[in-house]
Copies of this chain bind each other. A is one copy, B any other.
Amino acid sequence: MVDIATRVYNHKWKIDPIVRSLIDTDFYKLLMCQSVFRNRPDTTVTFSLINRTRSIRLAELVDEGELREQLDHVRGLRLSRGESTWLRGNTFYGRRQMFRSDFMEFLEGLRLPPYQLEKRDGQYELIFEGKWPEVMLWEIPALAILMELRSRAVLKDMGRFELQVLYARAMTRLWEKVQALRQLDNLRIADFGTRRRHSFLWQDWCVQAMMEGLGERFTGTSNCLIAMRRDIEAIGTNAHELPMVYAALADTDEELRRAPYDVLADWHEEHEGNLRVILPDTYGTAGFLEHAPDWLAGWTGIRIDSGDPVEGAEAAIRWWRERGEDPRRKLIIFSDGLDVEKIVDLHHRFHDRVKVSFGWGTLLTNDFRGLVAGDGLAPFSLVCKAVAANGRPTVKLSDNPAKATGPADEIARYRRIFEATEQQAIPVLV
């Protein structure tokens, strides 16, 4: 039986929306937003879309009208009553009322600020400017929209059964990954793939497949909407955005040197336990750990998001030992460019020495490599970064020079101040 009402309702859609909710975003964005709302609410921040894979000419693939429709749709979104209830009433990391009342009121009233869109040299220049706690929530929807519009553009001339077989292949591939991962006892892995997902529905499928295939090994998803709908944990802590903006706001070299620790001092006041996770690589992991205050060694864990992950984890373990901490009680979260082989290797290397956890992103939710002619669905490296704060440029060094961002002279200044040694560039796949 066809449900006539559903069919007529579907015909009434102006668009098939990609981002259907303000909480179709990463959980850590909301955590950071609350921190920013409390500590730096009046900072003006600019976010910009950056396609690191220049060979993919997005402005030629994706129709500008469709892109505007999707972005406009997001601007029309408001937090729903049910979403608000879920955020207010849920337990995150075992704690109730993670979100304060004043922040929830802010979120309930929020609409995302305007965007600026232009085409240049086959790419879209997409810029968001506004108060930090508002504008920062554009990052994830902007990325998800561009990624999915690209998928749709590639798929639009395919036949119905060709499409079904395409997804059959992608499902089979993911299931084989799940089968390989279920061999690992004590694995703890979460979905971090919202921003570069193939599509919303595909991410939702991947999460459900992980739930069935991995059982308790699957710890949750970074995506709040999917976490709510599938009744699983929302996962995440914090990102480079915080130290980048704090650093850009520093007036002196001394303030700049202190900025990454100031961020974590603010975080320390707000959060405890599993939310106390250091992201040390913004201006080089080595220097960060060397100069870190002792109270940071008491934090629960470290997230390794660039550079060689084995070296990064070894550095963290050494650092904990030097500071008199027992690494076996510490958590290392790997989240950079993971796929099964790397996960298996890192798990075997470290799971007896520290608590290990994985945040699996693009190659979980967008591994369509080789599935269409010309490899037109292969994931690519699209980011949306805070590029300026109160008019000053931001800088990121990372442990991989290929991931560095910012003006060249500022990069040089940051290198000097943070004593960042020259490191080897690792090609960025995603």
Contact = CB atoms under 8 A, between A and B. Distances in A.
Interface of A: 1, 3, 5-6, 9, 159-162, 164-165, 167-169, 171-172, 175, 208-209, 212-213
A300 to B, nearest CB: 32
Contacts of A5: 1
Contact of A171 (B9, B159, B164): B164
Nearest to A9: B1
| Copies of this chain | 2
B169 A172 contact: yes
Contact of A3 (B6, B208, B209, B212): B6
Contacts of A213: 159, 161-162
Contacts of A9: 1
A278 to B, nearest CB: 35
A161 B208 contact: yes
Contact of A168 (B161, B167, B208): B167
Nearest to A164: B171
Contacts of A209: 161, 164-165
A77 to B, nearest CB: 20
Closest 8 CB pairs of A and B: A3-B3, A168-B168, A165-B175, A168-B171, A161-B212, A1-B6, A161-B209, A168-B172
Contacts of A162: 175, 212-213
Nearest to A10: B1
Nearest to A213: B161
Contact of A1 (B3, B159, B208): B3
A212 B172 contact: no
Nearest to A211: B161
A3 B5 CA distance: 9
A317 to B, nearest CB: 36
A169 B167 CA distance: 10
Q: Which interface residue of A9, A167, A212, A213 has the most chain B CB atoms within 10 A?
A: A212
Q: Which interface residue of A164, A165, A171 has the most chain B CB atoms within 10 A?
A: A165
Contacts of A164: 171, 209
6 contacts: A160-B208, A162-B175, A162-B212, A165-B175, A168-B168, A168-B175
Contacts of A212: 159-162
A82 to B, nearest CB: 17
A165 B171 contact: yes
